[in-house]
Amino acid sequence: MSEAGGLRSGDNVTVDGASLWNDILETARFGATPKGGIRRLTLTEEDRQVRDWFAAACRALGCSVSHDSMGNQFARREGADPSLPPITMGSHLDTQPTGGKFDGIVGVLGGLAVLRALRESGHETRHPIEVINWTNEEGARFAPAMLASGVFAGVFTEAEALDKTDRAGVRFGDALAGIGYRGPEPCGRHPIAAYFELHIEQGPILEAEGKTIGVVTGVQAIRWYEVTVTGRDSHAGSTPMTMRADALLAAARMIEAVNAVGLAHGPDAVATVGLVENRPNSRNVVPGEVFLTIDLRDPDDAVVGRMEDALRERIADIAAASGVRADFARVWDAPAVHFDPACIEAVRQAAESFGYPARRIVSGAGHDAAYLARVAPTTMIFVPCAGGLSHNEAESAERGDVAAGANVLLRAVLDADRRLNA
């Protein structure tokens, strides 16, 4: 390892913030919405377009690009020792139905900015350096979220993932083949020495405290559920109020119960109903069936378990009192994650070296890094987003903060390159 002027090799390399910002604006064209956001659901034509753009941008920097059997993309810049496993960065390019320009995207394009900085500076790393675009992080089209990184980490089998269907009945495997991104490498076989994920916070803490960098220590526990409430379709004009089995009314009471359970389990607990489908959804028919989703989260696995127990009891009581049936199914369980101490320290030191104000923080949202932590040393870097708003077309972040996050990413990766397999 060479040193010059008191700096370790690579410490004078920084990202081109203007190019990174231009990349963010450029990729926002794929799936752009009239309100300035992005609708880029996984494995759609818009997803294919942004994948093609990402692959071309990486090849223009002299990188090789491949994708595995779950469609995860890997852009690789070779190191001095190609036999070493790569140090990786990444996130996702898919969005929510009404998503913004930054969620996930900053992590992939921040990684691209790191590759560009290494190429333009001529700095050679020992390890190969890779950027990964994970398939279906959002879970907006195919549930659960983080599906492909979950297969990579052995949480789900590839067979069960490929057989998942969206609400229109389209199979994940068929949609993946349809956009031409089913690769030959079996998902999970790709070696990884360490993984760093840059992301907007998706919450208000950094902005409120005037911090530029969140040093992420872990991810809170998350569980997802699906509930189907079955009553009886009947005529709205001729069915007496006392003789109805109104599925929507029962579902409304269940939604209130979800909120109450979240409030009852401490300051960190959150409980959300985010999707509701009412059937037959006709103005003069008493609803006979409602489908809804529930999202429970807390940094403590035990608290999430108690929330689930309380919710099951409340939903069963509401169903019995309403004369309906409620089928309650857990569809995803992601336990709390604690990131690698050495990677966390690398991020902290990187922020300190640039003079960026920083704080330690636990992620309230799920990320691919939560699954990668099962198979490789992992951590995350947060930057503020305006008002803490995310999963919204108005999602926004400051250009300088995004560049700062990419600089911390770059320096943390270089630290790992010096430290690992030394």
Q: What was the pLDDT predicted at 139?
A: 95
Average pLDDT over residues 144-152: 96
Q: Is 0.95 surpassed by the pTM of this model?
A: no
Q: Tell me whether residue 287 is exposed, middle or buried, using C-beta atoms within 10 angstroms of its C-beta: 0 to 12, 13 to 18, 19 or more.
A: buried
Q: Is the pLDDT of residue 6 over 50?
A: no
pLDDT for the residue 4: 37
Banded pLDDT at 36 (limits 50, 70, 90):
very high
Report pLDDT for 10. 72
Domains of the chain in start order, with CATH, are 3-220+336-419 (3.40.630.10), 221-334 (3.30.70.360)
Query: Which among 356, 359, 369, 358 is positioned nearest to 404, based on CA atoms?
Result: 356
**343: nearest Cα among 197, 172, 245:** 197
pLDDT of 331-365, one tens digit each? Answer: 989 899 999 999 999 999 999 999 999 999 999 88
Give me the mean pLDDT over the 106-121 stretch: 98
CA atoms within 13 A on the CB side of 23: 28
What's residue 365's pLDDT?
87
Query: How much is the mean pLDDT over the chain?
Result: 96
CA dist 233 and 299 (Å) reads 41
Q: Are 390 and 200 in contact (CB under 8 A)?
A: yes
Predicted local confidence at residue 260, as pLDDT:
98
Q: Do 103 and 96 form a contact (C-beta atoms < 8 A)?
A: yes
Task: Specify the pLDDT at position 5.
Answer: 37
Q: Shortest CA distance to 17 belongs to which of 108, 94, 104, 109? A: 109
On the question of pLDDT at 396 being above 70, the answer is yes
267-316 residue pLDDT tens: 999 999 999 999 999 999 999 999 999 999 999 999 999 999 999 999 99
Categorize the per-residue pLDDT at 422 as very low, low, confident or very high, splitting at 50, 70 and 90. Answer: low
